[in-house]
Structure formats: structure tokens, C-alpha cells
Structure 1
Amino acid sequence: MSVVALLLSLSTLLCCALPLLLVALGFGSAVAALTSSAPWLVTLSQYKVWTFGVAAGVLGLAGYMLYRRGRSCPTEPLLADACQRAQRWSRRIWWCAVLVWCIAAVVAFAWIPLQRLLA
């Protein structure tokens, strides 16, 4: 589930945050090339509120599944060790996905208003 959350977070970064950041930095031609080679990015960016909402929902569900009470690993030492390692990696991946989603949300929704305030 955390891998799905990471992929959805990356989709929010690709659809909305990366093109906006590139245009703001003066790389508009790169955005034009990107959207001509991957036209589905335009559709995703038209529905960026839904894209971010679905990604946030999946992140929330994955976080609940990772941190809910009653999670336990097997008692057999070898399986318990593998289970604990998998849980640690799942949590790391989930936190990376949350970080990517937060960065993408700030860039997609707050970047331009912040630039206008500071200018």
C-alpha cells in the first residue's frame, strides 16, 4: 500500500508541481516539450484537486494501515525479523511519499500566491 501511495504522490508531482516549477524558473520550453510527449499530464493537471485528493486519501489509508493498533509480526524469529524489516521499509517509503505530496502541494497550490506576496 505504501508503494501505491508513493506512486500517487509522484503523479501529483509530475502533473502539477513540476511543470509549474519549471515555468516559474524560466524553462517554459521544457514544459512544452514535456506536455507534447506526455499529453496525459495536461488532463491530470486540469483535475489537480482531484489528483491531490485521491493521493491524500491513499496516503491516509496507507498511514492508517501502517500505524494502526494490533499490528503484530509472527513469533518465529526468522519471520519476525523479516516482518519487522518490511514494516520499517514500508514506513520509510510512506514518509517519503508524504514528503513528496507535501512538496507538490506547496508548489501546485501556494507557489504563485507566495511569489505575488513577496514581489
Structure 2
Amino acid sequence: MRLWLRETAGPALALFASTGTLLCCALPALLITLGAGAVMAGLAANVPGLIWLTAHKGQLFAVSGLLLALAAFMKWRARNAPCPIDPAQARACMRMRRAGTVILAIAVVTYLTGGFFAFLAADLLL
């Protein structure tokens, strides 16, 4: 349990936070682009947190960016941490390191996608 917590907790938390950036900005833009404005109106009416996220997108991106930076720093700092000597535990340790790296990369892509739709898409595409 402690190995999972050390290797993937930070990236998983950053992924969770960066998913909020997709919900606030990329999802509405995608639905409107696809001509599903009625679906977007239904979501806005039934999911009040969606409107709150959109209204506070600056703070959302700041917190998500901070969590991403913290997770990346934790991964960088633990890059040379020793794995256990036991071969099975060493394989599990390396698997957790790769999983944490993949999760962190997905979180960064998610954050950048949400940032594009939140701050750049309207200026570039309209």
C-alpha cells in the first residue's frame, strides 16, 4: 500500500484535478461544436457544479496547475529512490513508477486540453 501511495498518489490527484478543467471548458465547447446545445443546456440545468466550475475557471486552473507541478516534483524527486531487493517487489516498484508516469502524462495532456478550450479556443477559432 505504501508503494502505491508513494508512486501514484500525487499523479492520480493531479489527474483528478485536471479532469475538472475538461469538465468546465472542453466539454461545453465540444458539445456546442457538435451541435448538441440542448444536451449542454440539460447538463447545465441538472449539474449545478458545472456552472460553478466554469465561473471559477481561473482558480480551477491555478489549483490544477499547482497540483500538477507538485506531482511532477514528487516524481522527479523519487526518480532515483531505491526499489526493494526482492525481485517480485522490485518489479512491482518499477510497474508503479511507470504507471505514475503515465498517469502524470495523461493529467498534463488533460490540463493543456482544458486550458486550450478555456483560454485560447474562443480567440483562435472565432
TM over 0.5: yes
TM-score between the two structures when normalised by the length of structure 1: 0.89
Aligned equivalents of 2:125, 2:63: Cα separation in 1: 27
1:38 — aligned with what? 47
Residue deviations 1:76-98, cap 9 Å, x none?
22211111100000100110111
Q: Calculate the aligned-residue CA RMSD, in Å.
A: 1.4
Q: TM-score, normalised on structure 2? A: 0.85
Greater Cα offset, 63-72 or 94-103 = 63-72
Q: Structure 1 CA distance, aligned partners of 2:29 and 2:84?
A: 47
Q: Which residue of 2 aligns with 1:76?
A: 86
Counting only pairs closer than 5 Å after superposition, residues 61-100 of structure 1 correspond to structure 2 as 61-68=70-77, 70-100=80-110
Is 1:113 equivalent to 2:113 in the alignment? no
Mark the runs of 5 or more structure 1 residues left unpaired by the alignment: none
Q: Which whole-Å CA distance do the structure 2 matches of 1:19 and 1:71 have between them?
A: 42
Aligned pairs, number:
116
AA aligned to 1:87 is R
Give the Å deviation of 1:71. 2.2
